[in-house]
Structure 1
Amino acid sequence: MVFGQEPPTLIQHRLSYSGRKFGFDVNRLRLPNGAEGEWECIRHPGGALCIPVTADGRLVLVEQYRFAVQGRLLEFPAGTVEHDEDPFQTIQREIQEETGYRAHKWQRLGQFFLAPGYSDEVIYAFLAQDLEKLTTPQQLDEDEDIQTVLMTPHDLEMAILNGEAVDAKSISSFFLAKRFLNF
């Protein structure tokens, strides 16, 4: 992916907010096509996600409570890329913290924008194989409410097609992984 090839012209900076995980800007801009207006944008450092696959072909997912949707979503392990951290380091840490697994074989699946209409967040997706179940339990952050779930690829695909609560980054990454796995 090529980033930053057609930046808009900043006419007026109106508002900035910097939070714990991301920032928020409101700016008056002139777009490359000449249109002018005020746009809001969530500024995010990016996220890393992995699709962990067990030796018997099951997928390791997490069921996680998400306050914004007031419920639990089925997701692949993922986390925010920390300052000066490579996305691969992020996901190696997150898989262990969220699931209690470590992967010994990794493959980069690609990257994609999560919601480019209002955010610059990029998700870096990886395939994680040759899993080792660690003896230490999950190491969750205080605000994380996560349960590990094992599913077959078919069961996950049916959950997605039936409209069950699976998040977009997991659906997109599952699609990317299909070219490397036989499911």
Structure 2
Amino acid sequence: MSLGNEPSEILEQLLFYKGRKFNYEVIKLRLPNGVEGNWECIRHPGGALAVPVTREGKLVLVRQYRFTVQGRLLEFPAGTVESYEDPAETIKREIEEETGYRAGSWKSLGKFSLAPGYSDEYIYAFLAQDLEKLEIPPQQDEDEDIEVVLMSPEELEAAILAGEPIDAKSIASFMMARPYLKSIID
């Protein structure tokens, strides 16, 4: 089944708010099936995420405080795609800033919609290999509270199945990377 592009007809923009990381709008639409109504949407420039794997087969994750859930989540390093960046540039910068590692080789795993019920954000996922630990510590943003965590793929899978607090983009990207991880680690 093909999921082609079927744009809605915008009838009226009712509200628009420009935020620091994303925009919010309420729009009156006519859907492709003819139904009209008001919909809310978060407009997001997209995010880039790395599934970094060391030569020893360990995954590099971060445990990050997220104010929205009032707690720490286990995540792969990721960041918002800036208007002047390609997603591959974004993640190369973010992995160094958040983890203190640099990857020697990259593979695109694809992209996926994060929450299409209310946001147009896409995540661009990459496999990062041939990691080298940088001599300088991670240069995290002022608002980031991050701890670097190394786990085997089996440990991460067990944490996911146990219901530990792990964000959805990391779980989805881990699933996309699994076929490659098996060949790297075996």
TM-score (norm. length: structure 1): 0.97
Q: d(CA) in 2 for partners of 1:40 and 1:4?
A: 22
Q: d(CA) in 2 for partners of 1:3 and 1:49?
A: 24
Q: d(CA) in 2 for partners of 1:180 and 1:52?
A: 12
The within-5 A match list for 1:1-183 is 5-182=5-182
User: Relative to 1, partners in 2 of residues 1:85 and 1:4: Cα closer, same or farther, differing over 3 Å?
Assistant: farther
Write out per-residue CA displacement over residues 74-109 of structure 1, whole angstroms, 9 at most, x where no aligned residue: 000000000121000000000000000000011100
Identity percentage of aligned residues: 67
Q: d(CA) in 2 for partners of 1:120 and 1:47?
A: 11
Q: Which runs of 4+ in 1 moved over 4 A?
A: none
1:17 maps to a residue whose letter is Y
Q: d(CA) in 1 for partners of 2:59 and 2:102?
A: 14
Residue 50 of structure 1 and its aligned partner are, at CA, apart by: 0.3
Identify unmatched segments of 5+ residues in structure 2.
Answer: none
User: Relative to 1, partners in 2 of residues 1:137 and 1:3: Cα closer, same or farther, differing over 3 Å?
Assistant: farther
Q: d(CA) in 1 for partners of 2:178 and 2:21?
A: 31
SS of residue matched to 2:156: helix
2:75 maps to a residue whose letter is E
Residue 4 of structure 1 and its aligned partner are, at CA, apart by: 7.8
Identify unmatched segments of 5+ residues in structure 1.
Answer: none
Residue 120 of structure 1 and its aligned partner are, at CA, apart by: 0.2
Q: d(CA) in 1 for partners of 2:108 and 2:152?
A: 21
Residue 12 of structure 1 and its aligned partner are, at CA, apart by: 1.5
Q: d(CA) in 2 for partners of 1:3 and 1:101?
A: 37
Write out per-residue CA displacement over residues 103-141 of structure 1, whole angstroms, 9 at most, x where no aligned residue: 001110010000000000000000000000001111011
User: Relative to 1, partners in 2 of residues 1:102 and 1:81: Cα closer, same or farther, differing over 3 Å?
Assistant: same
Aligned-CA RMSD value: 1.3
SS of residue matched to 2:179: coil
Name the count of aligned residue pairs.
182
TM-score (norm. length: structure 2): 0.95
